[in-house]
Structures are given as structure tokens and as C-alpha cells.
Amino acid sequence: MLHLMNQPDPRLTLFAGVDGGGTKCRIRLRNAEGVLLGEAEGGSGNIRLGLELVWGNITAALDQILAQNGLDLSAYDHMSLGLGLAGISCLDDAVTTIKAGPTFARCDAASDAHTACLGAFSGRDGAILISGTGSAGYAWVGQKAHQVGGWGFEVCDNGSAADLGRSAIRAALEGFDGLGPHTDFTRALIAHFGGHPADIVHWVTHAKPRDYGTLAPIIIPFADKADTVAVALVKRSADDLARYIEHLHVLGATKICLVGGMAPVFTPWLRPSASALLAEPEHDALEGAILMAHGVSNGMTTEKVPS
């Protein structure tokens, strides 16, 4: 549990932190003394998928925790909520997100990268690099935020599960067409979809980033077996992450935490110069969001506190 130095607000008796990514959102609730009251998971917390959907996922999970503690929606009047959500990339995003939700005693919003960074370094300067369904680099140095990457699956998300899956499909199709190596991996990936490129075309028509990310568990075992195509794909993703890590260091972060579901997958593939800059996070993104709920800077100087 983090040690909080801020003067307590007597109106606030509950502090909730939300960590929302492309696949799911997680919520943790503590009381004013820091005692854990519960945790829950819900659906996606990426605001680009729609604020009505995201707030529905958040409140469903939050209300589950409240019910477990014999509380109802009136608890919102005494709750400070810290939102760390994928898709928030500017002040307007944060303001729009807060306005779209229910009224709490206090509500702050920032990117999931910011809350992950706050948690990783207990509110001090540092940087994190998230590698999950998507990816984003973020440094918090001298009360100034620096975002690196994280601009969305359509144009970025290098070093993520979704980007790895998309690159794998491209390599498999090139192998099928004779434009690149056709290995055990590329054949297995095409077989996974039904055995013909037309099956892949049908799949990608409606696929979301999280769907591309589900291909990562197929790729990694082939890379571990030294399949040339799979190795090249994983190395490229690791090299993308290394570029981000080294640039975050240039921006002033002495240490960087590599976090997210793909972090343990890609870490062994990083070049030594990047690996040397890594540190273990002190706390997770949920604790970072709770720190923000306690008034630690959200990096965007916005909050909603009802009068």
C-alpha cells in the first residue's frame, strides 16, 4: 500500500482506482485508511470503443465491489475515483470522459500509462512502457509528461500483442504467396484460420485489436523453437520496445518499468542496452490510479469535484 502525504478530505471515505485497457478494466477500492475493500474486473476500458460502453463496464465492476461491502450507489457521493484509461491522450479526452460518467465526490482521468507510471514509482519521476494488447511509453519527469507511441492500433502499437498478430498474418500470407519464407509457423497460422487466405480475409473484416492479440500465444512457441519467421517477428517487436525504452531514458527517466501482459514475453528478446535500463515496478497501475484519486497529479490538470 502506498503512503499518502496529502491532507485528507473529510468528504471522501472511499478511493477507487481504475486501470482500463483494450481487453478489460480492473478496479480496486480502498477506504480512507487504505484498507482494501475489494477488486473486480469488467470489459474493455479503452475510450475509443465508446464512452457508454466503457462507463458501463466500469460501473458494473465497481457496483459489484460495493455490493460485497453492503454499499449502494449512494457511496458515489463519498468516493474519489481515479481513472487510468487507454485512449485518453489529451486534456479534452479526459474532460469528455469525466463528463460522460456518473457523478462522484471527485473524479480524475488520465491515460492508463500515467497511472501505471505513478504506481510503478510511487508518484516519483520515472517511466513505464506498457506492452499488452496495445503499447504505450510514458515518462513522468519534473512534473512533466512525455508520451512515446500509444497512438492506436491503426497507426502504432509497436511491440504489442495486437501488432505482433497483425505482422504475423502479413508474414503468413506472404509465405503462402511465395513472396517470403513459408515455414512451419506460417503454415500453422493459416491452418488456424481454416487453411486458406480467404478465411483470414473474412476474419480481419470484423477483427478488433484484442482479436489480433490472441494470435500471440500461437507465435511465441514457434519463436522458441527457432522458426525463422516467428523469430524475426518477435525480434522486431522487441527491437521496437528497445527503441522506446532508450528514448524514454533520453527524456530523463533513469529507470523504466516494462509492464503489461506481453512484458515477460518480450523481455528475454531485448538487446542488452535496453535491458540494463529496466526496473521492477513498486506498485501496479491500480495503486497509481488510487494515488491520483488522493490528489496526486493526473498529468492533465483536470478533475471534477462537485460543488
Instruction: List per-residue pLDDT tens for the chain, 307 residues long.
Output: 333 334 457 789 999 999 998 889 999 999 999 999 999 999 999 999 999 999 999 999 999 999 999 999 999 999 999 999 988 988 899 999 999 999 999 999 998 889 989 999 998 999 999 899 889 899 999 988 898 988 889 998 999 999 999 999 999 999 999 999 999 999 999 999 999 999 999 999 999 999 999 999 999 999 999 999 999 999 999 999 999 999 999 999 999 999 989 999 999 999 999 999 999 999 999 999 999 999 887 665 433 434 3
pLDDT given at position 5: 35
Three-state SS letters, 282-295: CCCHHHHHHHHHCC
Domains in the chain with CATH codes? 1-122+282-307 (3.30.420.40), 161-275 (3.30.420.40)
pLDDT given at position 131: 94
In angstroms, the CA 83 to CA 120 distance is 16
Nearest Cα residue to 3 out of 47, 44, 33: 33
In angstroms, the CA 168 to CA 220 distance is 11
CB atoms within 10 A of CB 167: 20
pLDDT given at position 297: 73
Coil, strand or helix at 80: strand
CB atoms within 10 A of CB 55: 17
Predicted TM-score (pTM) of the model is 0.77
pLDDT given at position 21: 86
In angstroms, the CA 146 to CA 184 distance is 41
Nearest Cα residue to 33 out of 4, 55, 73, 59: 4
**How many residues does the structure list for the chain?**
307
Q: Look-up: residue for cell 479503452?
A: 46
Nearest Cα residue to 285 out of 80, 114, 108, 150: 114
Determine contact, residues 114/138, Cβ cutoff 8 Å: yes
